[in-house]
Chains A and B, each alone.
Chain A
């Protein structure tokens, strides 16, 4: 695919520039990031940092719906996006790795979005510029930060990022997910897989427990005497009744969860010796998945818009930072109220943000914010469950108004339909982000 050609034809259509001007601009786009004024041509400028469910959706909706009236730049370090959602299904053998990977090519070709593969490393809120690791900087009228999560240092004793290959988190999808899957498959017969689950709040509340289900599904087939140990600092977790019912039905005797009442909140890991110490008791494990405590992706803190808990508080009506109205924060990094940190939530918030940004920068109509979320989880083959809710914006927060959850004891037919529905959702949200 020739991205440059797509970008040029988009711009030509919108601005009536001559081919020569367009060529010059396209060259500027790819090389001279320090000269955003050349790019902008007087159009309002939006910079989006982070190309996941929040950022990719926001960039796409702003560019698409403004029909070229807003100049959109998306800053994302990786060239291929691997979604955290459905990465557990890859671990379980239900998806190919390639099927959770997505390219940014269509965002450039179809919507004229300037996709810059670089790290955003600073935000100057007075000058309204974003600094890039590669050395350039980008000016903005509105900045959208959707950086996802980073891990809190020291939250699991004995673990830091330098140990992520011995004890993977696999909580940012990509090579970490591949590594964890390989380690599970390499476990000795009758070995132990241990997950250190995170404290609230964290990305994808049912995610660790769907992962447990997928690991159990793999081990049941290839290593049926293996054990699964969950060390959990939380007394309860998302969809708990549904997961525990499913584990009993499909993986009886395989999974043990140690909650805070038995020391699940007092854990130390020893990557060198592959040991997990729970409330003083040493356990030898064969694969160890450490999911540490989380906070907003680092750029949010660098921008100076995070609170003491490490998240970025936002105004629910527009997803604007409470610290700076020129910055919007989406998805996991935001502290918005009642929505879970999920890809679906980030995608939903991005549409409200896109409308607010267009309304502020162009004369487009602004409608009242509305949000929704549904999270599907797979417990075993054709055994899917879901939880969903709708939300509205109040002055205080994003507030839940209504919801539903799968029931225990549902028929196999209902569970299969729920799983198939999740496949449809994955297909649709992928297009909603990247097409």
Chain B
């Protein structure tokens, strides 16, 4: 059983502060004009939508089941989910531990309401990751990877990352968009994203091998 704490009233929430908090979400989600699915689904018009219901996104079975079971993203449901995602949807693929402070969540949801709806305040969607934020050469994104070579290299990944895209303590990577995948691994390779095991793996991957892995995991995401 879950106690869903209602989100704070919009009049008291600080949407500008919420925008800053949204930085924790934007690595995976887009919202606003032109938002598309990335690592996570886009968040446009999320309020009032059934969970796991958008076309074209590969949800976890758990999220689809939650939606089929009646979970609707009201402000209260989003507030509960954000406080501890896996308490509301166990085995959700969303790799986020939770936002503990109720005021933080209220501010975040206030900003999300402004940017998610179709109103005049809706901003343009921002990219989930850019080569510039890690000082990477944008040309790295133009390399075409060989998915078959990627399939061999992926053997090193699937010892820890479940190939079916399940998430049980290590993030799912199957189905990631090409650019997000390449930028993440290139950032690990150069020590600009911090995780010792991922830095170790990425350090010995060539640019072509990273592109090959991106191609493989993108393709794997299209498989049933």
Contacts and interface: CB of A to CB of B under 8 A. Distances in A.
A402 to B, nearest CB: 6
Contacts, number: 88
Contacts of B152: 351, 355, 365, 367
A401 B161 CA distance: 22
Contacts of A65: 151
Nearest to A404: B196
A388 interface: yes
Interface in B121-148: 148
B168 interface: yes
Given A351-B155, A421-B169, A427-B166, A389 B200 contact: yes
A407 to B, nearest CB: 9
B100 interface: no
Contacts of A422: 169
Contacts of B163: 428, 431-432
A347 B201 CA distance: 16
A435 B155 CA distance: 14
A390 B155 CA distance: 14
A374 B197 contact: yes
Given A374-B197, A421-B169, A427-B169, A367 B159 contact: no
Contacts of B162: 424, 427-428, 431
A80 B167 CA distance: 25
Contacts of A432: 158-159, 163
Interface string A398-410: 0001111010000
A401 B155 contact: no
A372 B170 contact: no
Given A372-B201, A402-B203, A365 B161 contact: no
A371 B163 CA distance: 18
Contacts of A427: 162, 166, 168-169
Contact of A348 (B148, B159, B170, B200): B159
B23 interface: no
B204 A402 contact: yes
B156 interface: yes
B199 interface: yes
A111 to B, nearest CB: 14
A21 B201 CA distance: 47
A365 B150 CA distance: 12
Interface of B: 148-149, 151-153, 155-156, 158-164, 166-170, 196-197, 199-201, 203-204
7 closest pairs, A vs B, by CB? A424-B169, A424-B170, A351-B155, A404-B196, A423-B169, A427-B168, A420-B169
Interface of A: 61, 65, 344, 347-348, 351, 355, 365, 367, 370, 372, 374, 386, 388-390, 401-404, 406, 420-425, 427-429, 431-432, 435
Given A365-B149, A370-B204, A425-B159, 13 more contacts: A348-B159, A355-B152, A372-B200, A389-B200, A424-B161, A424-B167, A427-B166, A428-B162, A428-B168, A428-B170, A429-B160, A431-B163, A435-B164
